[in-house]
Amino acid sequence: MADKREAPETIESPQLKPEGEAASTMTNGGDSQHSQEYNKESSLEDAQPQSYLVEWDGPNDPENPQNFSFALKAWITLIPAAMTFVASLGSSIFSAAVVVTAQEFGVSQEVMILGIALYVLGFACGPLVWGPMSEIYGRRTPLMIGFFGFIIFQIPVAVASNLQTIFICRFLSGCCGAAPLSITAGMYVDIFDLVARGKATMVFAAAVFAGPSIGPVIGEFTVKNAQLGWRWTLWITMILAAFFFIIALPTLPETLAPVILQRKAARLRLEKRQWALHSQLDEQPVHFSALMSKYGLKPAKMLIREPILALMTIYTGLVYAILYLTFFALPFSFESDRRWEFGKASLPFIAIFVGIMAACGLIIWEMTVIFTPKVVKAKKPLPEERLPSMIVGSFILIIGLFWFAWTSYPSVNPWPQIISCVLIGCGIICVFMPGLIYLVDVYLFDANSALAANAFIRSVMAAAFPMFASPLFKNLGVRWATSLLGFLCIALAPAPILFYIYGKKIRGWSKYAYDLG
């Protein structure tokens, strides 16, 4: 049983822990504490009493990821985010192929939805591999291996002649596609300071959510094109992934400080012929069994014992699953009810994308203008100050869902319903991102375990929701099916309000949360 420990009484402004850890909010990998222990302002000559311990050559060592140039940091921000976007897009672009593949293979649409559900289930399973690997071998190697596997597994699906191939390879594609989702945010922790990390995290979040919102639009127009067809949804995904893979392969550097120092020590041993030179990672290697405990057993225990983690995981899992439910809600409403033609019916997804981008901008503004000055003044983490934007997002999402539901009558102009999609996209992000960052602030050094539990549950929920989407909307109709989602959100909306008022007291009961004073 983990003992409750106290966090430092004060935290200097440039290295504030909560915002730094926030970059890990979408990932199971990326141990920021492990990485930053090695970002020390020391030199080989000053290392005492172990004179053969290799560390950074002073505070301005160019090999230290914190000292990378602005251009290189921007590159590290954008390229893995682009890879994340493609992996996320792969989850939704196939939704446009469900109807035609069901007809081609002689099965129901409910069966073909497995092609999406298994892919998202891969998002739940993949981080169990990529997270530990990113702490043992660094960020770059598992990222590139996973993304290469993602590219390869598009091919069997694109040429498949049976359902078994489609389903198995879609699952494996999701597992491999989870690599950038698991590792990218950890790279941001490696290279950025407080303020920049928060902004980079929102770039990553935009990529994670933009992919599913844009995928159906690309997919429907691809399937509709007689010269392309449904198989080209896979070829397009593969081409995009290969493009970013080829760019990243020669240009994306390693960012995990312990691994960089280990490689530096190996290089110096050969150059100086001093075989005693070593890094701290050589002295204290990361054991796979310990990592599996952190990403497996410990998250399960925390999920059972921690009310904050349990409620926030259910809530963020619900809004994440609602995004995947829109793959079927929007086409059902605009194709079946409003009788829009195939292709045109996917255009409302652009409204969700607009809402997602707007929410990311609002959260960056809130981080910069409101939250950061409060934390700098207090000189310590303020977890509950993350929650006002989540509370606002809860109301935005609820309003958006009911607005969508009751403006879906075919006799009503479609624009009010389309505008509601902007609110849904905005609300999803405003609930999801502050919720995850709050978990990081609450659990600090146990944040990776908390996020591992959250990521697994939300991915399982996102995989499950599409499975009952079709019977839900066919039996209840758009109005009551969407209203049901709204009522679920109403039931969970008090959670951030409860934690905002009583969070400090609840944290005092926790065996994993740290006493922040």
Euclidean distance between CA atoms 191 and 194, whole angstroms: 10
pLDDT in tens, 460-475: 999 999 888 888 998 9
Residue 5 lies in a domain: no
Residue 459 lies in a domain: yes
Tokens of 214: 């844009």
Residue 57 lies in a domain: yes
Measure Cα distances from 79 to 72, 83, 237, 245, 511 in Å. Answer: 11, 6, 16, 9, 38
The amino acid at 292:
M
Residue 1 lies in a domain: no
Residue 464 lies in a domain: yes
Euclidean distance between CA atoms 30 and 176, whole angstroms: 17
Q: What is the pLDDT of residue 51?
A: 67
Q: Calculate ∠ Cα 438-381-449, nearest 5°.
A: 45
pLDDT in tens, 187-221: 888 898 766 777 888 888 889 999 999 999 999 99
Number of domains present in the structure of the chain? 1
Residue 517 lies in a domain: no
Q: Do residues 440 and 197 lie in contact, with contact meaning Cβ atoms separated by under 8 Å? A: no
Residue 321 lies in a domain: yes
pLDDT in tens, the chain (517 residues): 444 444 443 333 333 333 333 334 344 444 544 554 445 444 444 444 446 887 888 888 899 999 999 999 999 999 999 999 999 999 999 999 999 999 999 999 889 999 999 999 999 999 888 888 888 888 999 999 999 999 999 999 999 999 999 999 999 999 999 999 989 888 888 898 766 777 888 888 889 999 999 999 999 999 988 899 999 999 999 999 999 999 999 999 999 988 998 898 889 898 888 888 887 887 877 777 777 777 778 888 889 999 999 999 999 999 999 999 998 889 889 988 888 887 788 888 999 999 999 999 999 898 888 888 887 787 777 888 889 999 999 999 999 999 999 999 999 999 999 999 999 999 999 999 999 888 888 887 677 788 888 989 999 999 999 888 888 998 999 999 999 999 999 999 999 999 999 988 888 888 888 665 5
Tally: H helices and E strands in the chain: 23, 0
Q: Do residues 424 and 355 lie in contact, with contact meaning Cβ atoms separated by under 8 Å? A: yes
Question: Can you tell me whether residue 224 is helix, strand or coil?
Answer: helix
Euclidean distance between CA atoms 386 and 441, whole angstroms: 9
Torsion sign (Cα): 147, 149, 150, 155: positive
Question: Can you tell me whether residue 39 is helix, strand or coil?
Answer: coil
Residues spanned by the domain of 278: 13-509
Query: Cβ neighbours of residue 501 under 8 Å, at least 6 residues apart?
Result: none
Residue 304 lies in a domain: yes
Is 241 exposed, middle or buried, given 0-12, 13-18 or 19+ CB atoms closer than 10 A? Answer: buried
Euclidean distance between CA atoms 80 and 179, whole angstroms: 10
For position 373, which CATH number holds?
Answer: 1.20.1250.20
Tokens of 97: 């192929």
Question: Can you tell me whether residue 229 is helix, strand or coil?
Answer: coil
CA-CA-CA-CA dihedral for 45, 46, 47, 48, to nearest 10: 120
Beta bridge partners, 515, equal 6
